[in-house]
Amino acid sequence: MKNSLKKIRETKPLVHHITNWVTIYDCANLTRAFGALPVMAHAPEESADMTKISAALVLNIGTLTLDIIESMLLSATAANEKEIPVVLDAVGVGATKFRDEMAAKILESVRIDVIKGNYSEIARLAGENARTKGVEATSIAADPVELAKELAKSKGCTVVMTGKEDIISDGEKTFLVRNGHELMGSIVGTGCMAASIIASFAAVNSDYCEAARDALCCFGIAGELAAETSNGPGSFKVKLYDEVFKLSEETVQARSNFEKV
Amino acid sequence: MKNSLKKIRETKPLVHHITNWVTIYDCANLTRAFGALPVMAHAPEESADMTKISAALVLNIGTLTLDIIESMLLSATAANEKEIPVVLDAVGVGATKFRDEMAAKILESVRIDVIKGNYSEIARLAGENARTKGVEATSIAADPVELAKELAKSKGCTVVMTGKEDIISDGEKTFLVRNGHELMGSIVGTGCMAASIIASFAAVNSDYCEAARDALCCFGIAGELAAETSNGPGSFKVKLYDEVFKLSEETVQARSNFEKV
Amino acid sequence: MKNSLKKIRETKPLVHHITNWVTIYDCANLTRAFGALPVMAHAPEESADMTKISAALVLNIGTLTLDIIESMLLSATAANEKEIPVVLDAVGVGATKFRDEMAAKILESVRIDVIKGNYSEIARLAGENARTKGVEATSIAADPVELAKELAKSKGCTVVMTGKEDIISDGEKTFLVRNGHELMGSIVGTGCMAASIIASFAAVNSDYCEAARDALCCFGIAGELAAETSNGPGSFKVKLYDEVFKLSEETVQARSNFEKV
């Protein structure tokens, strides 16, 4: 794990988010609980400047508008120049034509280091005829591991498909992560939070494929621990924050459940 | 109750929200806790498309701006064509001229199936000289039951007035719901959450008056159960989510407290 | 303390916020937990009207955009005319040129009664060469107490610098507040919440310097009590809300830890 948790807590990387208005609160708080520093600045007049002092950038199109897309492109350009990781969370791709087009526009205009989405979002980005039910994945026809690999190769980046089993591939190496708990699906925004954590780990580990794998193991382990004493989504989320905050490298080593395929 | 809870959990209706930035987080999470799927897409370029794949639409004017109103009208028009229920939460009507005007514009431009508000918001919509203290109800002069009935008749829709006692009327039949707990008033957004739940129930029950009644009974019962072991608004909200998540049809049957008047 | 807590709970002052999209949820809920009524209305068409029925105004530039600045100026002008307190939370000043410029524009255009920020934000406003790491304070070269005093004198207002030790000065009198707990730094938005509480106390106490001191004592005491039984940031925030809600004047008298310097 390269002591990523320790590095995050010690260096407190600034993680700039241009994100949606639904889960912005959880993305900020979970980033903080992991030890990184979240910042959100979406005005086009400053978003690139904020990126220039940051260690990673998250672009989340969950409630995208045209002016937000403009700020995303400005920020990503600054991030590309500074060579800090850019994570795109393709929320709702496959649900509307606008999301498909805007995601495509971002991918054509700037370099994205990690593309993250659920199974149908990633399938859609890969050119499949997948439909997303709002922001909820639907089942897909193609083999997800092959999809992730192919998309990673064609875009030259890391691809993360989240679901019951997470798939992470940079085209060369591919990991399956099996940590996590079904209660994570009972709250809104675990997908968005995952993107924040991936960015936090990528800020301290230049192998973004490993960074994404480690981030999802850590988040999943915290979810497993939180679920042990939860009575539903309310208490689960409270405990999820507590478990993330006190997660130790030892626990991570002992409970990480991933496979290289 | 027509097994509405079961239907929501089984069919997972997509409930599209164009809503405010204060309680958007709770509206999404509570919709999810009830078993439905929330989605929020306010860009005019996609909001109607998102409505077209949804099962219900919530319009909440809590932090309205002119561009949001535009998206609301586009979405409501799509919902009207698709004949899915549209719930308008008239947050803050009676507080500023702009809110009064925008609520009136929405009601004139599209078909609203359920108008929801607190006592002074609904009184204002009904033409009374009521004033809302920000988003908090003030006492009203008129008889609230008569107000709700008359507004329902004149608009040809269901009217929901939330308060210590909730009043629901479609002009023909009128219900009083007495479930709930005073701690629900200690947190922000229970009114907004109620609109999300009404939309979720209306997605699976075409009698919107009954759907609203059932939604408020269920929400109120979860509030009563949560309050039993709460120490204040923090723990209350956590338990509210847990109770909503595990609410059973049996509990709802046993504890529903409504009257037809 | 002039029974400020009691006054807030009895008179329920309406506290208008034009604030950021990250912590708007917590600002609203914490204001409510203290007994005041939060309202957020950022449309330029209504924001001044909402201010006119309010008892205090909070301007928080955490996710500022040009249209939000316009509404802030309209609202602050209305607040100045009505002579209700205006609190400016200078979030992220020192991080980007745009924030520096917009904060300066607000301070030049309208009367601000309380300027609040962390150490580097206030240092930057005072003309020091301080840099803010996103919205996180960095260490500053100058003496913070002198900085606060001088800025208060030059602007003719109360200045609040939050940190391990809070500094509050109106240029004449200066207080150090030592209540609080380190877990308050583990969650996002305690700074923003502090501004909401200062506004709530200023709504019932025309000595804004004392109001800010009392607000920070109360918030800090609630944080100390919440920390006693917390396991991390999740449970801490839940308990913080509960402790704020049930905070008594007796507890405040017994635990307030401030010094006049």
Q: What is the CATH number of the domain that holds B132?
A: 3.40.1190.20
> Across the interface, do C134 and A16 touch by the CB < 8 Å criterion?
yes
Long-range contacts for A251-256 (Cβ within 8 Å, ≥24 apart)? A251/A221, A251/A225, A252/A1, A252/A5, A252/A214, A252/A217, A252/A218, A252/A221, A253/A1, A255/A179, A255/A217, A255/A221, A255/A224, A256/A1, A256/A179, A256/A217, A256/A221
Query: Which residues of chain B neighbour A134 with C-beta distances below 8 Å?
Result: 14, 16, 37-39, 50, 53-54
Query: How many angstroms from the chain centroid is the CA of residue A233?
Result: 21
Q: List all chains that touch chain C, counting a touch as 3 or more CB pairs closer than 8 Å.
A: A, B
CA A180/CA A166 separation, integer angstroms: 9
**Which chain C residue has the Cα nearest residue B232?**
C242
Residue A1 pLDDT more than 60?
no
Using alpha carbons only, how large is chain C's radius of gyration in Å?
17
Q: Which of C174, C243, C177 is nearest to C209 (CA)?
A: C174
Q: How confident is the model at residue C1 (pLDDT cuts 50, 70, 90)?
A: low
The Cα of A233 is separated from the nearest Cα of chain B by a number of Å equal to: 6
> Across the interface, do A39 and C134 touch by the CB < 8 Å criterion?
yes
> Across the interface, do C33 and B99 touch by the CB < 8 Å criterion?
no
Q: How many separate domains does chain B show? A: 1
Instruction: Check residue A120 and give its pLDDT.
Output: 96
Q: Residue B113 — φ and ψ, nearest 5°?
A: -90, -35
Residue B26 pLDDT more than 80?
yes
The sign of the torsion formed by the CA atoms of C157, C162, C168, C169 equals: negative
Tens digit of each residue's pLDDT (9 = 90 or more) over B150-171: 999 999 999 999 998 999 999 9
> Across the interface, do C33 and B65 touch by the CB < 8 Å criterion?
no
Query: Which residues of chain A neighbour C124 with C-beta distances below 8 Å?
Result: none
Instruction: Check residue C162 and give its pLDDT.
Output: 97
Q: Closest partner residue to A14 among C133, C233, C238, by Cβ?
A: C133
Q: Closest partner residue to B41 among A26, A63, A66, by Cβ?
A: A63
Domain membership of residue A190 as a residue range: 4-260
User: From chain C, which residues contact A within 8 Å (Cβ)?
Assistant: 20-23, 25-26, 62-66, 92, 95-99, 133-136, 186-189, 231-235, 237-238
Q: Which of B218, B213, B159 is nearest to B31 (CA)?
A: B218
CA C108/CA C87 separation, integer angstroms: 15
**Which chain A residue has the Cα nearest residue B71?**
A65
**Which chain C residue has the Cα nearest residue A16?**
C134
Instruction: Check residue A196 and give its pLDDT.
Output: 98
> Across the interface, do C97 and A240 touch by the CB < 8 Å criterion?
no
Average pLDDT on C77-106 reads: 98
CA A224/CA A240 separation, integer angstroms: 9
Query: Which residues of chain A neighbour B33 with C-beta distances below 8 Å?
Result: 186, 232-234
Residue B236 pLDDT more than 80?
yes
Instruction: Check residue B164 and give its pLDDT.
Output: 87
Give the rounded percent of residues in chain B with a pLDDT score beyond 70: 99
**The two structure tokens encoding residue A7:** 């590095």
Q: How confident is the model at residue A2 (pLDDT cuts 50, 70, 90)?
A: low
DSSP H or E segment with residue B214: helix B208-227
Q: Which of A131, A104, A65 is nearest to B14 (CA)?
A: A131
Q: How confident is the model at residue C163 (pLDDT cuts 50, 70, 90)?
A: very high
The Cα of B62 is separated from the nearest Cα of chain A by a number of Å equal to: 14
Residue C95 pLDDT more than 70?
yes
pTM beyond 0.95: the answer is: yes
3-state class (DSSP) for residue B59:
strand
Instruction: Check residue C130 and give its pLDDT.
Output: 93
Average pLDDT on C223-244 reads: 98
CA B54/CA A100 separation, integer angstroms: 18
CA A38/CA A193 separation, integer angstroms: 12
CA distances from B222 to A231, B256, C185 (A): 14, 11, 32
DSSP C91-130: TTBTTBHHHHHHHHHHHHHS--SEEEEEHHHHHHHTT---
Largest CA distance in chain A: 47
**Which residue in the block uniquely carries the two structure tokens 């006693």?**
C228
Tens digit of each residue's pLDDT (9 = 90 or more) over A201-216: 999 999 999 999 999 9
Query: Which residues of chain A neighbour B239 with C-beta distances below 8 Å?
Result: 234-235
CA C17/CA C47 separation, integer angstroms: 9
Q: Closest partner residue to C65 among A43, A237, A239, by Cβ?
A: A43
User: From chain C, which residues contact B within 8 Å (Cβ)?
Assistant: 12, 14, 16, 21, 24-25, 28-29, 32-33, 37-43, 45-46, 49-50, 53-54, 237-246
> Across the interface, do B21 and A21 touch by the CB < 8 Å criterion?
yes
Instruction: Check residue B249 and give its pLDDT.
Output: 95
Tens digit of each residue's pLDDT (9 = 90 or more) over A115-172: 999 999 999 999 999 999 999 999 999 999 999 999 999 999 999 999 989 999 999 9
CA B162/CA B167 separation, integer angstroms: 7
Instruction: Check residue C164 and give its pLDDT.
Output: 87
> Across the interface, do A186 and B33 touch by the CB < 8 Å criterion?
yes
The Cα of B152 is separated from the nearest Cα of chain A by a number of Å equal to: 31
Instruction: Check residue B1 and give its pLDDT.
Output: 55
Query: Which residues of chain B neighbour C12 with C-beta distances below 8 Å?
Result: 133, 136
CA A200/CA A38 separation, integer angstroms: 9
The Cα of C135 is separated from the nearest Cα of chain B by a number of Å equal to: 20
Instruction: Check residue C128 and give its pLDDT.
Output: 93
Query: Which residues of chain A neighbour B54 with C-beta distances below 8 Å?
Result: 134
**Which chain C residue has the Cα nearest residue A243?**
C232
Contact C55, C79 (CB under 8 A): no
Task: Number of helices (H) and strands (E) in chain B: give both, helices first.
Answer: 11, 9
